Chain A
Amino acid sequence: MDLYREGTRSISGVTGPLLFVSNGRKAALGELVTIETSKGKRTGQVLQIDGDLCAIQVFEGTLGLNPGDCTVWFEKDVVKVRLGQVLMGQTLDGRGIPRGGKALPCFEKEVPITGSPLNPAMRAGPSDFVETGIASIDLLNTIVRGQKLPVFSGSGLPANEIAAQVVRQAHVPGNPEQFLVVFAAIGITEREARFFRDSFEESGALFNGVFVVNLAGDSAVERLLAPRTALTIAEYFAFDRGYDVLVVMTDMLHYCEALREVSAAREEAPGRRGFPGYLYSDLASLYERAGCVKGLKGSITQIPIVSMPGDDMTHPVVDLSGYITEGQIVLDRGLQARGVYPPINVLSSLSRLMNKGIGEGRTFAGHRQVADQLFASYARSREVSRLRLIVGDEGLTETELHYLRFGSAFERLFLDQGDSALSIGESLAAAVRALSTLPDEELFRIPADLMEEIRRVRLDR
């Protein structure tokens, strides 16, 4: 503790969430500051220094801040979060302080929330199959331990329900230990936060999980800290304590909007849709904190939820997320309207690391071929049903009618599994039932032993 600190009262202005200090000669980039007013303390961080002028983003917002009534103290430290086993089961605010309480009194270590990039040469390739119990994910877009796989969802689609279902059901087969859940609520409403809290309480994830909560009504600047705090905590549990950590972050769109708000206040040149030009690098600094490390037991698996404004996959936040993450789960309004739950559009969804986690000894032999067959056949059936709108049933050939039947069987028997958890075997059985609606010559990707199975199912029908 320094006995002597130097404060400054020369505040030159307040813009949006930023405070400008005209005597910031002693400041360092990224330095933590305390702002003392007669009504209490606020905290902030140095964003930019231009000679004497220093821009500070205020975590609590600048509402009611009077430049004449502020003393700014530079803390000679960056923003850190206190870590320790005691975090388990806690609900924290965006800065990592127990919500409505005081900073943790006892902790193991204090770490800057920005983290450091993982050395790409020291990463271990993710390869352990994670069974989520959702057939369209496990069979067609398999998640592996250490992957980052976002959910892209239009408004009104059940992304939250699916995320909660994954948290409830996900496990690595053969590994009795459950995932530890770190949940980052980024600018979501009280109602959504309550849904997650209730769901986690029911499944028991609440007691061995950490919750970082920044609600829609909280400060937008703090929103920029929430995912970093959550990931720093996740890194502690994964790489210091050896847990398999599942990080759910919702909603990344709110995070990016907060970033845009601060960028606009800094008068930076805007990029696409007003988002700053460094959005890609900024998002990457979050998403890339997933993974496994050579020689360490733990892992970080990320499931961020990204809203698609107007169901637009080319929206910059969605687009850039897709470029950084290892695939995506896309929700579909058409399926939702046809009453299919979970309404996962398997054709636009993708898991890039799938091939690492499937096959003999991991899931089952021939997994890739079955998945390829399902993708190709379902894509064809979608094409045929579009064609049918134009030429009608009479214009379709026998084969095309088979594809139509397959399409509806696939949605009804395979996709529409409801709230239940299916093992990988049960998922495969559902896929076999759907495939049995197609004649043999269309199933040229399927290996011989599974072909037998399909013929048997067809006869039973």
Chain B
Amino acid sequence: MSNLGKIKCLAGTVIRADSASPVSNFEVARVGSERLLGEVIRIDGKEVDIQVYEEIDGVHVGEPVEFTGEPLGVDLGPGLLGSVLDGIGRPLGGFSSEEAGAFFLKRGFFSRSLDPGTRWAFFPLKSPGDNLSPGDALGFVKEGEDFKHLVMAPLGSEMSRVREIASPGTLVTVDDAVGVLENSLAITPCQRWHVRTPRPCVERLPFSEPLITGQRVLDTLFPVALGGAAVIPGGFGTGKTVTQQSLAKWCNAGVVVYIGCGERGNEMTEVLEEFPHLKDPHTGRTLMERMVLIANTSNMPVAAREASIYLGMSIAEYFRDMGLDVALMADSTSRWAEALREISGRLGEMPGEEGYPAYLGSRLAQYYERAGRVRVLGEPQRKGSITIFNAVSPAGGDFSEPVTQASLRLSGTFWALDKRLAEGRHFPSVNWKQSYSLYEKALEPFFLENLGEQWKDCASFLKSLLERETELLSLVQIVGRDALSEQDKWDLEMGEIVRVAFLQQNAYDPHDAFNTLEQQMRLSEILKDLQCLVSEEIERGVLHQQVQGLGLLRQVLALRGAPAEDFEKRSHQWLEEVARSLTTSEGR
């Protein structure tokens, strides 16, 4: 039973309507004769403010508004992986021929996120008579080569017994019933979820494992826990997007949900053109097969940008509920906050810091708190996680602005991207002085168990050396490089070797783009051995100039490119060579 109203005021993306009967906050409204999608965001007596997810040019005062009584929802089910959706869940690729091939987005088109035409092979996990509680897997459908997409009893449904169930291999569309319960509830592969509501779970689990990103500076120095949250702030041109794309490519998550929230259209194209051709190093499938892309680029309507992160989060939670580790990336939180600010401004609300609404922090918290590592509802028992990677684009590169600060309070890892490093083409431009990870303690047992005691020494060696280099560089500013002791001169050179060979990582070089934890540790071990070796020689009287003549940096880079199998052997040979050439030069 829908409820009708009439448009009274129009400004930008917000309209005001009056409604005859009461409406609820955040219910979906269809605006005007074109039935544009919108959402109620404020109720004032009989007057209702609605944010509209599309451009509203050409809409008249007095046109009807229809209140649907339902909050904003999305269809979750097979077919999500590999798809491209806009901020409110409409497929941008289009299913039917009339929708596909639209170069320019037409407003008012209405489409579901799942293709109702595709047929999937269903395989049951339960038999008639079995109990089925919310979250229990009734069966699965096969998606792609070997992905088992669980068909779960909808959360919030009542426990019942299975009365009928489809036989193995039955081809079904997302709307066909694959089973019927004794309470007459038909289970379909597709379930609807209201995007602003968190999906429940049994309990939250403590952090115990890292999410492996394959980036040396991130995994070794500033690791993020599975189920944690990392914030990546940086001014323009510091490589936020490249870092996020590297994470999307190489991290060991089962599913990646990538939200292009108010960013460039060409970046979405890049992902769409590149990812179907790249292999996931962990499973061997193409990267696109584990990816859901939500594209609400900067020129698309602003209100849909606000909704896009909730949509992405709901999709991530759905895959988490299947027992998968999900990485959720949003580029960028600042654009989302700006959308919030724009809508708030149109409502004439009292502005908080820098014009952002006073509820910025609490809205962000609602989003961040949906991440985590959990035991999910239903049988068989499963654990799943959502790890958040959020880029932040602070105005003028100033990290003290409200969005960066609010994000920092809610997350555990901070990867500060630095303009100076980016200008010197040091990528990823993670500033090792400013960045931090609060998960180090929680993850220590994991690292010690998997990499051994050396891991701790290696990480602390890198940190102390970089710290020493910083000190020495400020000393050089005063006395010049020539006035340093031989050991200090070498420490400076070693600092450079660590920066170039370890911290820098070339996202475009197929051999260097991804490092396993073992590779990372072996490389840092070699560097540590090199430091010990040369320091000893210098103590014995070798001059730094002699060391410099060896061109160690170039040799380390060549060694780094060596195949993983014989890295161990070659690196030992190389260290011996270095030792030999230093002792002979001493003799001369």
Q: Does B128 contact A (CB under 8 A)?
A: no
With A51-B9, A314-B396 as contacts: A387 and B342 at CB distance below 8 Å: no
Given A314-B396, A396-B480: A375 and B424 interface contact (C-beta under 8 Å): yes
The segment out of A24-32, A81-89, A161-169, A452-460 that lies at the interface is: A24-32
Identify B355's interface contact among A117, A269, A285, CB under 8 A: A269
Q: Does B101 contact A (CB under 8 A)?
A: yes
Which one, A244-252, A324-332, A424-432, is touching chain B? A324-332
Chain A nearest CB: distance from B481 CB in Å? 5
Q: Which of B59, B107, B302, B422 contacts A281 (CB 8 A)?
A: B302
**B341 close to A (CB within 8 Å):** yes
- Whether A25 contacts B61 by the Cβ 8 Å rule is yes
Contact across chains for A319 and B103 when beta carbons are under 8 A apart = no
Residue A353 is within 8 A (CB to CB) of chain B in the complex: yes
Q: In the bound complex, what is the Cα–Cα distance between A120 and B236 (angstroms)?
A: 21
Contact of A29 with B57 at beta-carbon distance under 8 Å, contacts A116-B106, A314-B398 already known:
yes
- What number of A-B contacts does a CB cutoff of 8 Å give? 219
Nearest CB in chain A to that of B551: its residue: A441
Query: Looking at chain B's contact residues, is the secondary structure mostly helix, strand, loop, or mixed?
Result: mixed
Contacts A125-B266, A277-B345 known; A397 to B481 CB distance under 8 Å?
yes
The answer to whether B11 and A122 touch across the interface, beta carbons within 8 angstroms, is no
Asked whether, in the complex, the Cβ of B58 is within 8 Å of the Cβ of A316, the reply is no
Within 8 Å CB of B557, what residues of A?
A: 444
Q: Which residue of A lies closest to B424 (CB)?
A: A379
Selecting from B129-137, B292-300, B317-325, B513-521, the interface stretch reads B292-300
The complex places the Cα of A372 from the Cα of B508 at a distance, in Å, of 12
B8 at interface (Cβ–Cβ under 8 A)?
yes
- Does A73 make an interface contact (CB < 8 A)? no
Given A117-B105, A118-B104, A269-B355, A291-B266 contact (CB < 8 Å): yes
**Of A146, A280, A287, most B-chain CB atoms within 10 Å:** A280
Residue interface mask A265-281, B partner, CB < 8 A = 1: 00011111000111011
**Chain B residues whose C-beta falls within 8 Å of the C-beta of A404 in the assembled complex:** none
Which residues from chain A contact B403 at a C-beta distance below 8 Å?
Answer: none
Enumerate A273-312 residues with CB–CB distance to B below 8 Å: 276-278, 280-281, 284-285, 287-289, 291, 293, 296
Q: Does A390 contact B (CB under 8 A)?
A: yes
Cβ of A196 < 8 Å from any Cβ of B?
no
User: Taking the complex as formed, is A50 at the interface, i.e. its CB lies under 8 A from any CB of chain B?
Assistant: yes
Q: How near does chain B come to A59, taking the closest CB pair, in angstroms? A: 16
Closest chain A residue to B356, Cβ basis:
A277
- Say yes or no: B297 contacts A120, CB within 8 Å: yes
By a CB distance below 8 angstroms, the chain B residues around A395 are 479-483
Which residues of A are found within 8 Å of B423, using beta-carbon distances?
347-348, 375, 379
A391/B393 in contact, CB under 8 A: no
B424 touches A347 (CB 8 A): yes
Interface residues on A, range: 35 or more
Give the distance in Å from the alpha carbon of A289 to the alpha carbon of B335 in the complex. 19
User: A115 in the interface, Cβ–Cβ < 8 Å?
Assistant: yes
For the complex formed, measure the closest distance between the CB of B339 and the CB atoms of chain A, giving whole angstroms: 8
Q: Which residues of chain A from 327 to 384 have a CB within 8 Å of any chain B CB? A: 327-328, 347-348, 350, 352-353, 355, 368, 372, 375-376, 379-380
Q: Are A271 and B482 in contact (CB under 8 A)?
A: no
Q: What residues on A are CB-neighbors of B268 within 8 Å?
A: 120-121, 123
Assess whether B59 is in contact with A28, with CB atoms less than 8 Å apart: yes
| A177 close to chain B: CB less than 8 A | no
B553 touching A288, Cβ below 8 Å: no
What's the minimum C-beta distance from A228 to chain B, rounded to whole angstroms? 12
Q: Give A131-165 as 1s and 0s: 1 = Cβ < 8 Å from B's Cβ atoms.
A: 00000000000000011000000000000000000
Q: Across the interface, do A319 and B396 meet the contact criterion of CB distance under 8 Å?
A: yes
Measured between beta carbons, the chain A residues less than 8 angstroms from B295 are: 120-121
Q: How far is the CB of A437 from chain B (nearest CB, A)?
A: 18
Q: What is the minimal beta-carbon distance from B548 to any residue of chain A, in angstroms? A: 8
Assuming the contacts A29-B58, A323-B393, asked whether A391 and B297 have C-beta atoms less than 8 A apart, the reply is no
Asked if A394 lies at the interface with its beta carbon under 8 angstroms from chain B, I say yes
| Complex contacts, A48 vs chain B, CB 8 Å | 9-12
Return the chain A residue nearest B94 by Cβ: A121
Contact of A187 with B by CB under 8 A: no
Q: Smallest Cβ distance from A67 to chain B, in angstroms?
A: 22
Contact with A along B72-98 (1 / 0, CB 8 A): 000000000000100000001100000
Complex: A450 Cα to B411 Cα, angstroms: 46
- B395–A319 contact, CB under 8 A? yes
Chain B nearest Cβ from A80, distance in angstroms: 12
- Return the contact of A278 from the options B103, B270, B297, B342 (Cβ within 8 A): B342
CB distance from B270 to the nearest CB of A (A): 6
Chain B CB within 8 A of A114 CB: yes
Encode A36-78 as 1/0 by CB contact (under 8 A) with B.
0000000000001111000000000000000000000000001
Establish whether residues B298 and A280, one from each chain, have CB atoms under 8 Å apart when the complex forms. Answer: yes
Taking CB as reference atom, which chain B residue is nearest A390? B477
Closest 9 CB pairs of A and B: A395-B480, A314-B396, A284-B298, A30-B57, A391-B480, A288-B299, A322-B236, A116-B104, A379-B424
**Complex A-B: 12 CB contacts under 8 Å:** A30-B57, A50-B8, A122-B92, A122-B101, A123-B266, A272-B395, A288-B298, A319-B395, A327-B237, A379-B425, A391-B478, A396-B482
18 more contacts with CB within 8 A, not counting A121-B93, A387-B476, are A29-B11, A29-B56, A29-B58, A29-B59, A51-B9, A116-B107, A117-B105, A118-B104, A120-B92, A121-B92, A125-B266, A147-B266, A276-B345, A284-B297, A387-B477, A396-B482, A400-B481, A444-B553
Q: Identify the B interface with A (CB < 8 A).
A: 8-12, 55-62, 84, 92-93, 101-107, 235-237, 241, 260, 262, 264-266, 268-270, 272-273, 295, 297-300, 302, 335, 338-339, 341-342, 345, 348, 351, 354-355, 393, 395-398, 422-425, 476-483, 508, 548-549, 551, 553-554, 557
